Amino acid sequence: MIDIQHVLFPDCTENAKALVCASLPVNEERYQILRSLHKFLEDRNIGAVILMDEFGTEIDMNANVACPASLTNGRYSIQKNAAFPIYFTQRALTEHLETITEVSKQYFLFFFKKGFVTKWAIFYGQEEIDSVAGANSSTATEDIPKFVKSLNVGANQYLPFSSMFWQENDRTKAPEWWKKISAAKLFCGLGKELRFEGHVAEITFLGERRVTLNVSVHSDQLVSAYPAVQAIAQWLYQDERGADTRHTLINNQVALLSIADVELIETNLKPVAEKIMAAAEMAYRYYLRNSDKELNKSLTELNKTLFEHTSKIRQNTMDLISGLWRDFTTAFGLLVLNFSLKKPEVSGTYWNWLLYGLIAYLIINLTLTGNLGFWFYYRLKSSITDMRDRVYSYLTNEDFNRYALDPLKTAFRKYRKTFWLISACYFAIIVLVFVAIFRKELASANPVLTEHKGQTKINPLKQR
């Protein structure tokens, strides 16, 4: 491990692009540290060290030589060109985290031996550099700014972007400096309004009354309150659904604190934070119980409405079946009457028009009855879908499909199957009517025939 602390001085400045040291008393130890650091960065293609003497002449860091005798004072810079953030000083990283606007998935901390992880980001130490995967982007869920209103530019810069970035992962232990920053960031995200001036956060909680707290983000009490603040954050943002309600309950519990507890927050946050957490959890359980009652009531109403709709679709299916038997009976009766009368008082032309009318009636009746069933289903489905966000917003998409749409789709599939089967039967009836008309026309086009014992003879009276 390269001990970079031997080449860092108070006048060194660092940002996201480079670290610059304007003056460095050079000796053999420091020179070899800079050479080792240069080789370390160059071999991994993540940066380089540029060393110059007091006259501005650049020293070749790749030359395997001892420290030049003429090099007694100089300046150097460490250029960063990695796809992920690299920091050599804790001070620079702290400043970066306090004003962070875009989070990264991976960080490399050169002043750390072994790193740590949060619920979203990974902070690698110097020994873990080869584990860093490469480029990463800001894809963390933006949740805290949804609930907190920034009242000035400082608050907008300091307010954390994502709670997951600041929540500790149970697998590793975070360092003390991280605990202080994380506790301050997460605590600022608990209120409804935030104003930030200097290093003091003015956090406003809105409930039955308005409570404003002034908290120094550099206060050491944040380290002791870190477990309690982490517990609140993990409970608050454990699930996106209900986070708004839990955030409101936190504000209500702060608003219900006594004056003594409010004053204690600024000096001893830990016990008050634990008290707020316990009260908010109890209030949320009570809220869920009442919500369950309302949910059961809503589901019962939904089930009742769904039963009525599916019953209507089943009724449309029964109407198709009963209509088929009625129309079959009508058509069969006319056909029997047509063939049973040998000398009908009504001429054959009128009988044909009557059968044509029967065909038109069958087609129109089937079309109107079928279209009514199809129209009812598609209109009902469209109405339920349009009312999804207002009436059924408490259901997930999966539950909405399971409880509201799938039963209707099942009933409609049975209706559609019945419709096509009934349509085939109507087609068969229409074909029989056409056959009857054809036979009637064929019989009227031939001489008058009589039937006698299964044989057909010409009637001599008609022949005369």
Among residues 180, 186, 155, 170, the alpha carbon closest in space to that of 93 is found at 180
Distance of CA 325 to the CA centre of its chain: 52
pLDDT of residue 342 exceeding 60, the answer is no
- Bridge-based pairing of strands 106-109 and 122-124 is parallel
Does residue 155 sit within a domain?
yes
Same domain, 209 and 345: no
Nearest-angstrom CA–CA distance, 186 and 175 = 16
Same domain, 330 and 355: yes
Nearest-angstrom CA–CA distance, 112 and 2 = 10
Greater pLDDT, 453 or 327: 327
Same domain, 241 and 345: no
Same domain, 254 and 336: no
pLDDT value of position 233: 86
Among residues 170, 151, 252, the alpha carbon closest in space to that of 211 is found at 252
pLDDT of residue 453 exceeding 60, the answer is no
Does residue 285 sit within a domain?
no
Task: For 361-386, write each residue's pLDDT tens digit.
Answer: 778 877 877 777 788 878 878 877 77
Among residues 63, 112, 121, 110, the alpha carbon closest in space to that of 82 is found at 110
Among residues 267, 285, 320, the one where a domain terminates is 267
Does residue 365 sit within a domain?
yes
Same domain, 381 and 457: yes
Same domain, 330 and 449: yes
Does residue 283 sit within a domain?
no
pLDDT of residue 452 exceeding 70, the answer is no
Domain of residue 24, residue span: 4-81
Does residue 282 sit within a domain?
no
Average pLDDT over residues 43-70: 80
Same domain, 376 and 258: no
Nearest-angstrom CA–CA distance, 248 and 122 = 31
pLDDT of residue 17 exceeding 70, the answer is yes
Angle at 411 between CA 410 and CA 416, to 5 degrees: 100
pLDDT value of position 455: 46
Greater pLDDT, 79 or 287: 79
Same domain, 343 and 200: no
- Bridge-based pairing of strands 193-197 and 149-150 is parallel
Greater pLDDT, 211 or 157: 211
pLDDT of residue 289 exceeding 80, the answer is no
Task: For 76-120, write each residue's pLDDT tens digit.
Answer: 888 888 777 888 888 888 888 877 766 777 888 888 777 787 877
Alpha carbon dihedral 365, 366, 371, 377, in 10-degree steps, equals 120
Name which of 142-151, 296-305, 417-426 the model is least confident about.
296-305
Task: For 152-181, write each residue's pLDDT tens digit.
Answer: 888 887 777 677 777 777 656 778 888 888
Same domain, 344 and 326: yes
Task: For 225-275, write each residue's pLDDT tens digit.
Answer: 888 888 888 888 877 777 888 888 888 888 888 888 888 877 788 888 888
Share of the chain above pLDDT 70, in %: 76
pLDDT value of position 390: 67
Same domain, 99 and 189: yes
Task: For 241-254, write each residue's pLDDT tens digit.
Answer: 778 888 888 888 88
- Specify the number of domains making up the chain: 3
Residues 35 and 23 sit within 8 Å (Cβ to Cβ): no
Per-chain mean pLDDT for the chain: 76
Same domain, 345 and 410: yes
pLDDT value of position 10: 67
Three-class HEC string of the chain: CCCHHHHCCCCCEECCCEEEEEEEECCHHHHHHHHHHHHHHHHCCCEEEEEEECCCCEECCCCCCCCCCCCCEEEEEEEECCCCCEECCHHHHHHHHHCCCCCCCEEEECCCCCCEEECCCEEECHHHHHHCCCCCCCCCCCCHHHCCEECCHHHHHHCCCCHHHHCECCCCCCCHHHHHHHHHHHHHCCCCEEEEECCEEEEEEECCCEEEEEEECCCCHHHHCHHHHHHHHHHHCCCCCCHHHHHHHHHHHHHCCCHHHHHHHCCCHHHHHHHHHHHHHHHHHHHHHHHHHHHHHHHHHHHHHHHHHHHHHHHHHHHHHHHHHHHHHHHHHHHHHHHHCCCCCCCHHHHHHHHHHHHHHHHHHHHHHHHHHHHHHHHHHHHHHHCHHHHCCCCCHHHHHHHHHHHHHHHHHHHHHHHHHHHHHHHHHHHHHHHHHHHHHHHHCCCCEEEECCEEEECHHHHC
Same domain, 76 and 165: no
pLDDT of residue 218 exceeding 60, the answer is yes
- Bridge-based pairing of strands 58-59 and 47-53 is antiparallel
Does residue 278 sit within a domain?
no
Nearest-angstrom CA–CA distance, 111 and 126 = 7
